[in-house]
Amino acid sequence: MDYAKTEQLETIKEHTDSLLENLKILRKIYEKEIIKVINIDKKRFWELLEIICKYHDIGKVYTPFQNIIRDKLGKPLIQTKFSYEILKHEQLSPIFIPVEKYKLTKDEKLLVYQVIYYHHERERKEINSQYLEEVIKEDIEPRIEEIKEEFGYEIEKNLDTSFIKYIRNRIKERDKLYIEYCLLKGLLHRLDHSSSANLKIEDDTLENIADFIDVFITSKFSKPNKLQKFSKENKNENLVVIGSTGVGKTESALYWSNGGKTFFTLPLRTSINAMYDRIENTIGYKHVGLLHSTAIEYLEEKEEFENEEEKYNQSKNLCEKITTCTIDQIFPFVFKYKGYEKIYATLAYSKIVIDEVQAYSPEIVAVILKGLEMINKIGGKFMLMTATLPRIYKEELEKRGINFKFEQYLKPVKRHKIKLEEKEIIEDLENIKKKAKKKKVLIIANTVNKAIEIYLKLKKQGTKNINLLHARFIYNDRSNKEKEIQEFSNNKDEKGIWITTQIVEASIDIEFDYLYTEMSTLDSLFQRLGRCYRNREYEENEDNIHIYTKNASGIKYIYDEEINKKSIELLKKYDEKILEETTKVELVDKLYSKEMLEGTKFLDKFISGRNALENILDYKTSEKVAQKLLRNIENVNVIPKNIYEQNLDLFKEYDRENKDYARKSMLKRKIDKLTISITEKTRWRIKDRLTVNPYYKEIFIADLKYNDETGLLLEKDEEYELRI
């Protein structure tokens, strides 16, 4: 008996049968969607995929592979002169395919051989035909009848190395079989990984999210609005939609998904968590998954599942009907890393929602737009929806020849009367404090340091009911604060101040009475405005939005200085006036026109990012590197020294635990909740305050001040000083 793996002691035949069962499920649910753009016979496509599944792992009968399994099981090894270092099982599998039986054409051989040969993307020695012939003669042929009996289906009678000529030059983007290759290889990855995890490849529910949205809207609003009707009527089209805050974009997107496999993306993990909760709890649709770097920690907090890890694995293996996720989980496929076909093939029969595209950097938007072009070519559909859309992004989609329907739905409600303050926000704290005695006040700073400075100044002045939220709290504390700000927002009787950074722009569903904010670029600024009078009409005479233009923090290294200046100039016309929703869209459109952007770093970054993507070499980037490129930033995790010392026993136990995988995994998740993610640039700035954790080397210990009130202070302890 030949084994495929040791985790659950599964034979190669059992694993193969599992793939074939999952193939039946996949074909039953998504057959039409998967094959709508292929150029080969549609029935033949499924026959080829079945052949690939049957023979992809048969090379594991190779004695050196079986010895690896036997060694792990503590069984005696089989004597052999061959080495797994020289020849891997996927390099052997193609010899077993009975080409004549399946009547494979030259193109079909190219597809089948390459999909199987490259289904493990790893460093390995180039195949040596002479060595392979020796393996066939001495290791395989003596057992051929036994292998046939074990698998129960036909095996090539004349085992030889002729397949090698078909795997020399990999199929790439400009080759005629590229789409078919991506689909076959990507679906094999999906089938293989799902089967290995003992998961059903796809949720076969007949429950349609659109029906749940019907019930939700009827109970809350009586009937769908114009945007929602438009999305429902155009469920088979690519859509680009501009909609003001509170117009029901989420419900519109779920109408558009219409029960199909859907990926719903948002810029921040907090916004994804909120979206997941909204679909699962508020709307009541349970066939939804959560996928981002700390998703399992969030699922644990909710305490809704007997096995959070199983729920997370379903999301990680893309099994759910709807997956809520950050773009770095999906869009790395654009970089064509080794194994990218798994995601790309899945998107061929999926719908993808990109929410709040204006929140991403120009380099990341270049990746998204390239990705949408690739998704369109393989047959997937997209809906790009946003409160404001830079003109150059729409023009870029059009330039790429992508057909989409464009609509704009803006509320006529008047919500924001703005006042441009030609001073620093720190100079206006007395006025802010007075307002906070009777109202809910939100202060948004461009940087964490500025937010902390404002908080400490107000605290020193004896201000009551002030709170602080930013990205430099450990996960546990930040999660608590996110809940607290929502509770504060929802409690009609609460008065006081919350000081935050841009993390609230497109993530947490909150509504305040007054907003005091540092100036930023218009797209970011208008997102902030959406946190004030989110669902109400403003009928007072005084200004409810105060924008501070002098010495705003973060200009140059967070916000483009030239675009920030242009933003101020565009706003001056509306100083001390109501800013209509249509005006916001028009201003962002104008700001991000090619005429206005000419000569800016923003345009340079977008163009250079776009051009770089057109010259990517297939399979030259790793998946990990691709994700980092997409995040546009390389982060490291740190733990404040005092938090580390309080939890030292937890780290020691993690370091000791080597046998119980589930226990070690649980300890890891507990540790991750005690960390803060900082940029590589910040890491170098404070490198003399960081030490390697002896029990968990991926996490640095930060010898810096930390508490759950102000978060991590980056300045050195003995030199720490703020202008308070």
468-506 pLDDT, tens per residue?
999 999 999 999 999 999 999 999 999 999 999 988 876
* Spatial distance between the Cα atoms of 379 and 369, rounded to a whole number of angstroms: 15
Give phi and psi for 309, each to the nearest 5. Answer: -65, -40
Percent of the chain residues past pLDDT 90, beyond the cut:
71
Partner residues linked to 442 by β-bridges: 498, 515
pLDDT confidence of residue 719: 37
The DSSP code sequence of 533-569 is: SSSS----SS-SEEEE-TT-TTBTTTB-HHHHHHHHH
pLDDT confidence of residue 634: 55
Percent of the chain residues past pLDDT 70, beyond the cut:
95
Is the pLDDT at 124 greater than 90, yes or no?
no
- Count of Cβ atoms closer than 10 Å to residue 223 Cβ: 9
**Average pLDDT of 588-602?**
90
pLDDT confidence of residue 718: 38
Partner residues linked to 417 by β-bridges: 578
- Angle of helix 661-672 relative to helix 648-656, nearest 10 degrees, comes to 150
Is the pLDDT at 720 greater than 60, yes or no?
no
Residues constituting the chain: 724
Is the pLDDT at 507 greater than 70, yes or no?
no
* Distances from the Cα of 148 to the Cα of 21, 144, 459, 670, angstroms: 21, 6, 78, 49
pLDDT confidence of residue 716: 46
CATH level 2 (architecture), domain 418-579: 3-Layer(aba) Sandwich (3.40)
Both structure tokens of 78: 């089989």
Partner residues linked to 5 by β-bridges: 10
Of residues 351 and 720, more confidently modeled = 351
User: Please, which pLDDT band fits residue 576 given cuts at 50, 70 and 90?
Assistant: very high
* Distances from the Cα of 23 to the Cα of 119, 121, 311, angstroms: 16, 22, 21
User: Please, which pLDDT band fits residue 612 given cuts at 50, 70 and 90?
Assistant: confident
User: Please, which pLDDT band fits residue 722 given cuts at 50, 70 and 90?
Assistant: very low
Name the CATH superfamily, with its identifier, for domain 209-409.
Answer: P-loop containing nucleotide triphosphate hydrolases (3.40.50.300)
Is the pLDDT at 345 greater than 80, yes or no?
yes
pLDDT confidence of residue 628: 61
Give the list of residues 6+ apart from residue 234 with CB closer than 8 angstroms, or none. 256, 405
CATH level 2 (architecture), domain 3-196: Orthogonal Bundle (1.10)
pLDDT confidence of residue 310: 78
pLDDT confidence of residue 26: 98
pLDDT confidence of residue 245: 75
| Mean pLDDT over the full length of the chain | 91
Is the pLDDT at 20 greater than 70, yes or no?
yes
pTM of the model: 0.88
* Spatial distance between the Cα atoms of 194 and 68, rounded to a whole number of angstroms: 23
Give the DSSP letter of residue 138: I
**Average pLDDT of 182-211?**
96
Of residues 299 and 440, more confidently modeled = 440
List the one residue out of 342, 335, 341, 339 whose CA is nearest residue 319: 342
HSE-up of 667 (CA within 13 Å, CB side)?
Answer: 20
pLDDT confidence of residue 717: 40
CB distance 340 to 374 below 8 Å = no
Is the pLDDT at 320 greater than 60, yes or no?
yes
Give the DSSP letter of residue 223: S
**Average pLDDT of 17-40?**
96
Of residues 544 and 269, more confidently modeled = 544
Domain residue spans of the chain: 3-196, 209-409, 418-579, 633-719
Is the pLDDT at 560 greater than 60, yes or no?
yes
Is the pLDDT at 210 greater than 50, yes or no?
yes
User: Please, which pLDDT band fits residue 721 given cuts at 50, 70 and 90?
Assistant: very low
Give the DSSP letter of residue 717: G
DSSP β-ladder status, 405-409 and 514-518 = unpaired
- Count of Cβ atoms closer than 10 Å to residue 199 Cβ: 18
Is residue 383 helix, strand or coil? Answer: strand
Same fold, 209-409 and 418-579: yes
Weakest mean pLDDT among 196-200, 252-256, 295-299: 295-299
Is the pLDDT at 723 greater than 70, yes or no?
no
pLDDT in tens, 359-408: 888 889 999 999 999 999 999 999 999 988 899 999 999 999 999 999 99
Query: Which run of H or E residues covers position 250?
Result: helix 249-257
* Spatial distance between the Cα atoms of 371 and 222, rounded to a whole number of angstroms: 37
pLDDT in tens, 523-536: 999 989 989 998 88
HSE-up of 452 (CA within 13 Å, CB side)?
Answer: 22
Is the pLDDT at 630 greater than 70, yes or no?
no
- Count of Cβ atoms closer than 10 Å to residue 718 Cβ: 5
- Count of Cβ atoms closer than 10 Å to residue 215 Cβ: 11
**Average pLDDT of 320-340?**
92
Is the pLDDT at 699 greater than 90, yes or no?
yes
Which stretch, 220-234, 339-353, 605-619, has highest mean pLDDT?
339-353
**Average pLDDT of 341-359?**
94
The DSSP code sequence of 439-479 is: SEEEEE-SSHHHHHHHHHHHHHTT-SSEEEE-S-S-HHHHH
The DSSP code sequence of 143-183 is: GHHHHHHHH-S---SS--STTHHHHSS---TTSTTHHHHHH
Of residues 660 and 641, more confidently modeled = 641
Give phi and psi for 351, each to the nearest 5. Answer: -115, 140
Report residue 322 CA to chain centroid gap: 13
Instruction: Name the residue with tokens 């150029």.
Output: 39
User: Please, which pLDDT band fits residue 724 given cuts at 50, 70 and 90?
Assistant: very low
User: Please, which pLDDT band fits residue 305 given cuts at 50, 70 and 90?
Assistant: low
